[in-house]
Amino acid sequence: MSRLNAVLALVLVVCALAVIQSQHRSRTYFVELERLKKEARVLEEQWGQLQLEQSTWANPARVDTIARARLGLVAPPQERIHVETLASAP
């Protein structure tokens, strides 16, 4: 009976250590998950800021102003503009 008690005690200790290790791993993964969620929120905020910045830089009025001021571009005369239209589809 003493030998059985020793084996059962050993199994109990092994199971307890496995539970402790599992809990520790679970907490470690949770901390990592929270860190990644925070990083994702920061990246989403940066993405929104970049989209806003892109829309500002690509504003047609801004591009036109810069093209005229910095590059000296001008609109072509009306006689050089030709608009093509597609024939209506059957």
How is the chain split into domains, by residue range?
A: 2-69
The whole-number pLDDT of residue 89 equals 60
DSSP state of 79: G
pLDDT of residue 90: 59
> And the tokens for 74?
């001008």
Those residues of the chain that have pLDDT short of 50 are none
Question: Would you call 30 exposed, middle or buried from its count of C-beta atoms within 10 A (0-12, 13-18, 19+)?
Answer: exposed
Using an 8 Å Cβ cutoff, are 56 and 62 in contact? Answer: yes
H or E segment to which residue 31 belongs: helix 2-57
Residue range 40-60, pLDDT digits in tens: 999 999 999 999 999 999 999
